[in-house]
Amino acid sequence: MKFRKIEGGVTAAKGFSAAGISCGIKKEGKKDLALLYSHRPAAAAGMFTRNRFQAAPVIITRRHLATGSARAIIINSGNANACTGEQGLAAARRMAELAAAPLGLLPEEVLVASTGVIGVPLPLEKIEAGIAVLVGELSPAKGQEAAEAILTTDLVVKTTAYQLEIGGRTVTVGGMCKGSGMVCPNMATMLSFITTDCAITAPLLQKALRHTVNLSYNLITVDGNTSTNDMVLALANGAAGNLRITSENEDYHRFLTVLQRVNTELSQKIVRDGEGATKFLEVTIKNAASFADGKKLAMSVLNSNLVKTAFFGEDANWGRIVAALGQTDVPFDPAKVDVFLEDLQVTARGQGVPFDEAQAAAILARKDIKILIDLHLGEETVTAWGTDLSYEYVRINASYRS
């Protein structure tokens, strides 16, 4: 399939506008309020955190998605509006109402997202004043500003967009996301917003989103922690003019492929911007008995503090890798396990093998490192992504509220 990577991010698809401003939630005038708007009705889908403490915007957005359609997403950063009780739910509902009114929408057509400190009441008066400005700023050229406004400890803006021919029409899928710390599967601490001008039914959009999330955002980790606010939302407004996708036909699978490309790239950008990260680690479990087993093993390796600190210290301590595999409840034969750092084998049949320490040092000095673990058991291959653990991660999270 011929993909074309293009500029424009979350507003690259036809019929979408965005804006991002500072309304005073964050210090130093940093952008903290964003709005994403579809100029025409859009099918909508979402995936959410599995943390039992679910933030007010997660609860309200789940309810609004029940219709399978939406026109806008209002997002604030700097305050999670989580663990805030009825007051928080009322504030999330009010955010939807405030964004809906000037756009001529029903509140149920607006989805709500928040990110930031947990347990602090949302400064609704600041958001109310900000939304009045925000709506006037909406433009297809303001996607970058919106992407800036959703960041918290992120160091870089994360956007992407691709085009692909579907049904003889050019379909665009774009997106923006945030995430840097408190990142682990079941949606990481992240927000991601996907827009497309593809015409597709809401149930199929939801199915495609679920499939691609499980192979992207749910295969990343920075620190093994799942947040209260995580969500991935997708809007599909049909402005590309392709024949509406109503079944899992060839057009659906083409759409699925480009959606996967976008979500995989965005999820990897989250890992690369992981708090304090100096390494981007790719762990592949080869010849696992099942996808679930492969995922559990990969995440055990990537979430091991001992593995993470070994890579930070550039120490080829393969024993920590096999120990992380063995501490899971996944059945496998340790005597069959091979481990490679890039193309350098460090473990064969569950035992250490002599290897060139200079070659290992050169590999571990890289920013991007691939770890291959062959179980010699089944036929499933699973790849996941994570980071090392540095002094900087501790510094950032020791003083997060300040």
* 264 and 318 assigned to the same domain: no
99 to each of 31, 73, 80, 81, how far by Cα in Å?
17, 8, 18, 17
Q: Which of 217, 240, 272 is the last residue of a domain?
A: 272
- Report the CATH number that the domain containing residue 30 is assigned in CATH: 3.60.70.12
48 Cβ neighbours under 8 A, 6+ residues apart: 54, 58, 61, 62, 187, 230, 231
pLDDT tens, the chain, 402 aa long: 789 999 999 999 999 999 999 999 998 899 999 999 999 999 999 999 888 899 999 999 999 999 999 999 999 999 999 999 999 999 999 999 999 999 999 999 999 999 998 999 999 999 999 999 999 999 999 999 999 999 988 889 999 999 999 999 999 999 999 986 544 545 445 899 999 999 999 999 999 999 999 999 999 987 666 778 899 999 999 999 999 999 999 999 999 999 999 999 999 999 888 777 899 999 999 999 999 999 999 999 999 999 999 999 999 999 999 999 999 999 999 999 999 999 999 999 999 999 999 999 999 999 999 999 999 999 999 999 999 988 887 787 776 555
* 262 and 289 assigned to the same domain: no
* 24 and 130 assigned to the same domain: yes
- Give CA–CA dist 267/261, Å, rounded: 10
* 53 and 172 assigned to the same domain: yes
* 90 and 161 assigned to the same domain: yes
SS3 category, 214: helix
* 255 and 292 assigned to the same domain: no
* 286 and 375 assigned to the same domain: yes
Please say whether the dihedral angle defined by the alpha carbons of residues 156, 157, 158 and 159, taken in this order, is positive or negative: negative
* 133 and 109 assigned to the same domain: yes
* 77 and 219 assigned to the same domain: yes
Q: Which of 253, 272, 291 is the last residue of a domain?
A: 272
What is the identity of the amino acid at 37?
Y
* 12 and 146 assigned to the same domain: yes
* 367 and 385 assigned to the same domain: yes
Q: Which of 227, 248, 272 is the last residue of a domain?
A: 272
Strands 280-288 and 368-374: parallel
| Domain count for the chain | 2
* Catalytic residue IDs: 189
Q: Which domain holds residue 288?
A: 280-398
* 234 and 340 assigned to the same domain: no
- Report the CATH number that the domain containing residue 317 is assigned in CATH: 3.10.20.340
